[in-house]
Structure formats: C-alpha cells, structure tokens
Amino acid sequence: MDLSIGNKIKSLRKQRGITQEQLAESIGISFQAVSKWENNITLPDITLAPALASFFGVTMDELFDFNLRETEAKIEAICDEAYTYRTDDPQKSRAILEEGLKAYPDNDILLNNLLYVMDYEHDPDEVIRTASKLIDATSFEDVRLDALRLMAEAYQQKGDLESAEAAIEQIPEIYFSKLSVAASLLTGKKQYEAAEKQKWISFEDTLNMMRVITDCLEKTGDYAAALAEAKRAAALLEAMDNKRFRDVFGKEISAQIARLSSKTGE
C-alpha cells in the first residue's frame, strides 16, 4: 500500500542528507521504526508529528495534510467494500476491515464499521471493549453515539440490562437529523439527495420499530394486534419495493405473519 507519509519522510530525510539512524536518534525512536515508515509498513504515531515537523523545518500541514484526503478516500473504499459483504458474509466483511486496520491502526471509521460485523451473541465482551475504545477516543460525535448504541446492544446480549440502560442514557434524544434539515431548507439537487437518503433511513427505522411492536404485542398475548402490525409492515415493505430491504426484512416479517396466523386461526 502506498502510504504517502512514509514517502514524504524519506524525501525530506534525503534532502537533509541524513541517515535513518540520525533521524531516529534526533526524535528519540529506533531506526527500525523509521525504516518501517519509509517502506510503507507502518505509520508514525501522531504524537511524533510535532517533532518530525520541527526537525525537517516544515509545517504540520505540509507534513500531514497533503495525505489526509488520500487517506480518507482509502478508508472510505475499505468500508464500502466491507459493507457489500456485511449482511451475507460478515466474516469476509470483518477480514477486510481488520486488514485495513493493519494499515490504519485504531482508525475511528474502520473500528465503527467493525462493530457491525462482530459476534454479539457469542462474544459480546469484544464488542464492549471496542465500543469503549471508540467512546473514549473518537473525536467524531456520530461515531461516539453509534458506539454507545452498539455497546448497549452487546450488554443486552449478555443479559446485563442495567449496563445497557446506562449506555442508552448517554445518547441524547434528537428529533431531527442533518439530512432532514437539509431536505427541508435546501433546494435543487442537494435537497433531493438529502430527502432521498433520509427517506430510506426513516423507512428502515420504521420497519425496525414495527418489528419491535409486533414482538411486544405477541409477548403480551395480543396475537390479533401483533398480526395486524406485521401485516402492515409487509404491506409497507411491498409498497416501497426495495430489494435490499426485502432481503433484510422480508423473511422475518413473513415468519412473524405465519406464526401469528397459526395462533389466531387466520
């Protein structure tokens, strides 16, 4: 992988006419670490950035920012590839993300995506550890809130509802999103794109809540009301005519309807 920061360090070092050993000694690290940077095996620790910039007499922007957009694009590509396997082959999705984390250790976005393909049923503690790391370290509020949500899910899988509720309590109640505001206030293409994205997010949320309501009604023994809710979900799914959502929700809704129909005699 072409990690341009390593190439930049190598170029600056050669311009100064110094060896890897001399650079390493000047900033207090091993020459092997410098060698790994320049051979694009690892990235420098961010805490070394000021020392590197000062040593070479360049700004932090010159040393790192030129690589920011390239890095973001590569991380986005890794996440996009992993997402294509998230539902059908979560193990492959996980392998792609873990390979990405070798190049970009502890990257917030990669770790956030990794949370979606971990084994909540058999290893919820791994989810909790990863989510905790993100909650404590990330500078992205959306990542922090998503990690809290997924941590709560892992605690629920463990049967620790008190800890799940404690995680949920840290999530603020918000009745609008950036997309919904953009869809309401902007015009033209940006308005359309925001509305289109928010439509499918809201649709998925609606189907999930209908599933939860159906389950709750079934647990209380109100099979007729549960069946009616499941049928409404099926009708909504059919009306929206989206293959991805049919694949995700279709079998479960059909199973709910079949099970509840047998209980109600319909």
Q: Domain segments of the chain: what residues? A: 4-58, 70-168, 178-264
Mean pLDDT in the chain? 91
pTM of the model: 0.64
What CATH number does the domain located at 4-58 have?
1.10.260.40
Using 50, 70 and 90 to split pLDDT, how confident is the model at 153?
very high
Q: Angle 164-168-169 (CA atoms, 0-180°, nearest 5)? A: 120
pLDDT in tens, 81-117: 999 999 889 999 999 999 999 888 888 999 999 999 9
CA distance 74 to 101: 12
> Is residue 71 over pLDDT 90?
no
pLDDT in tens, 169-198: 999 998 899 999 999 999 999 999 999 999
CB neighbour list of residue 162: distance below 8 Å, 6 or more residues apart: none
Residue pair 75/46 in contact (Cβ under 8 Å)? The answer is no
Structural fold of domain 70-168: 1.25.40
CB-count exposure of residue 231 (10 Å: 0-12, 13-18, 19+): middle
> Is residue 50 over pLDDT 90?
no
Q: Is 236 helix (H, G, I), strand (E, B) or coil?
A: helix
Q: Angle 221-155-75 (CA atoms, 0-180°, nearest 5)? A: 120
